Amino acid sequence: MKREDIKFRSGNLTLEGIWLWPDGNPDTSGLPAVAVCHPHPLYGGDMNNNVVLVICDALAERSIAAFRFNFRGVGASQGSFGEGIGEQEDLKAALALMASEPRVKRDALGIAGYSFGCTVAVPVASQVSGVRALALVSPPLQGAGLIPLKSFARPKLVLCGDQDFVVSVDALEGQLKDLPRPVEWHIVPGVDHFWWGQERLLSDKIGVFFSRALCGSGHVPGPETTR
């Protein structure tokens, strides 16, 4: 895998990002690509988070380019915390950058979010027509929760631990059952919000999901609940 550090613009701000490219040369149609959104910046979240890193590795192992980046005010990214609203603009800027990259297949873009990254990813997935698949890890349900996804009838994957102290599993499943298909979810026994020690299980499920949704037929089985 090849790492490539870049700077890109979000409005009048300059943000930092990192591409992780699979080994080998893509065909002339380009590679699928996924933007990976990190957890809450006010609680230490950044693009070097353990969950973010394993997701990126899992994608590159399956010939999917991964793009992780720091939201405004994090690391070397300019600006300050945007209450989740400014961060939506950052994600839209990242997706525009990805779509303009010659090595990327612009009609095969996805988003993966973890924790706070989910609250950014959910409304953007519903607003940006080029997003073909969405994976959410431990999504908080503050505000509108998953309701914006009622207009997102493309493949969706949700993963959460049954010991999560941030997410109510019952409330999460209640919202998931109201979403349009295809949607797949797994409630993983013994796992809390941080996924320490369970990163491999997480990355395998996300890697398979995006490989199926962006590289294959696009069919995603569901709903499925694992406890």
**pLDDT by residue (tens digit) across 207-227?**
999 999 999 744 444 445 555
Task: Give the pLDDT score at 144.
Answer: 84
Angle value at C-alpha 170, between 168 and 173, nearest 5 degrees: 110
Name the residue ranges covered by the structural domains of the chain: 2-215
pLDDT-derived band at 142, boundaries 50, 70, 90? confident
Task: Give the pLDDT score at 25.
Answer: 65
Checking DSSP bridges between strand 65-69 and strand 31-37, what pairing results, if any? parallel
Residue 119, both tokens: 């609250």
C-alpha span between 144 and 163 (Å, rounded): 23
Task: Give the pLDDT score at 19.
Answer: 98
Task: Give the pLDDT score at 1.
Answer: 87
Mean pLDDT of 167-190: 95
Higher-confidence position of 167 and 27: 167
- Provide the CATH topology of domain 2-215: Rossmann fold (3.40.50)
Task: Give the pLDDT score at 143.
Answer: 80
Average pLDDT, the chain: 93
Q: What is the DSSP string of 107-161?
A: EEEEEEEETHHHHHHHHHHHH-TTEEEEEEES----TTTTGGGGG--S-EEEEEE
